[in-house]
Amino acid sequence: MSNSRHVPVMLRRCLDMLAPALTEPGAVVVDCTLGLGGHSEALLERFPEARLVALDRDKEALRLSGERLAPYGERATLVHAVYDELPDVLDRLGVPRVQGVLFDLGVSSMQLDEADRGFAYAQDAPLDMRMDQTTGMSAAEVLNTYPAGELVRILRAYGEEKQAKRIVSAIVREREKEPFTNSARLVELIRDALPQAAKRTGGNPAKRTFQALRIEVNGELSVLERAVPAAVAALAVGGRIAVLSYHSLEDRLVKQVFAAGAATTAPPGLPVVPERYQPRLKLLTRGAELPTEEEIAENRRAAPARLRGAERIRESAGSGEDAR
């Protein structure tokens, strides 16, 4: 098993960003993407007065990180949930507001390293790609049952794949002969379908299709669209949120939510902006921060990471405003 699974991405920077909000006794920090618990363990260690609530939809991840975080006892509460369920989780735990939230989006190292999950295009495996293997459609079912037009839309929207039509034509032709079950056949089909020029750039030619399928299978963008505003709404004044994303679609979504929170909502032309129109967030990053060259050398999976952070600087005027 590769050592890269033990190296949480941009760890020190995430901790430093959240630190001012987590020094008070009883501060609650939420790790919305627990994975193998690397970020969570570091949070518990660095902030000994803080309490952790950690979410993951993958039961195997919860089991493994539960063993890792066991020494911290009741300071760590692990919950089987998708991160857009954060408001319900906090409600059940009786936690009205939190001081810190961390998202480390995308696929966890464990999911990439477990060959039978079908996330990695570099090794043959069943085309599953579900982060929670107890529910939902697998990637194979999506490939074998979705209409061609829908597959093209997914590859374009979620994979930013310029050759979507060409790839989908090949998929539809092949699935009529025999349904898709394994990743190697899909990788080979994509290689054969693409023109030479498209194969020369951007790494493995299957990368974008696999990303698109994974996002569709797990509803990642629609979940994120609900989750980031919900996390901002859960922050106490002075609370901080840090989000690590790994492709432009995620990063754009996070950027939009933060920008909206950091903007005034006042009608133009007011001589004085009333409190209720003042920004709720202060941005903690200029644009998105990137990992250092040293970090990428140590952990190649950090290469595409983009980090954005924000601080909650005031309450919303009305209870409904946070949910927008």
Q: Residue 313, exposed/middle/buried by CB under 10 A (0-12, 13-18, 19+)?
A: middle
- Tell whether 202 is in a known binding site: no
Going by C-alpha positions, the residue among 203, 202, 174 that lies closest to residue 188 is: 174
DSSP 201: S
Q: Are 140 and 128 in contact (CB under 8 A)?
A: yes
- Tell whether 56 is in a known binding site: yes
Cβ burial 206-242 (10 Å sphere, 16+ → b, else e): bbbbbbbbbbbbbebeebbebbbbbbbbbbbeebbbb
DSSP 50: -
- Tell whether 192 is in a known binding site: no
Question: Length of the chain, please?
Answer: 324
- Tell whether 39 is in a known binding site: yes
* Dist CA 238 CA 242 (whole Å): 13
Helix, strand or coil, per DSSP, at residue 238: strand
- Tell whether 38 is in a known binding site: yes
**Phi, psi of 180, rounded to the nearest 5 degrees:** -75, 135
User: Strands 51-56, 76-80: parallel, antiparallel or unpaired by DSSP?
Assistant: parallel
**Residues near 252 by beta carbon (within 8 Å), at least 6 away in sequence:** none
User: Strands 28-31, 98-104: parallel, antiparallel or unpaired by DSSP?
Assistant: parallel
Structure tokens at 18: 């959240």
Quickly count: other Cβ atoms within 10 Å of residue 7's Cβ.
Answer: 16
- Binding-site residues for S-adenosyl-L-methionine, in ranges, read 37-39, 56, 83, 104, 111
- Binding-site residues, in ranges, read 37-39, 56, 83, 104, 111
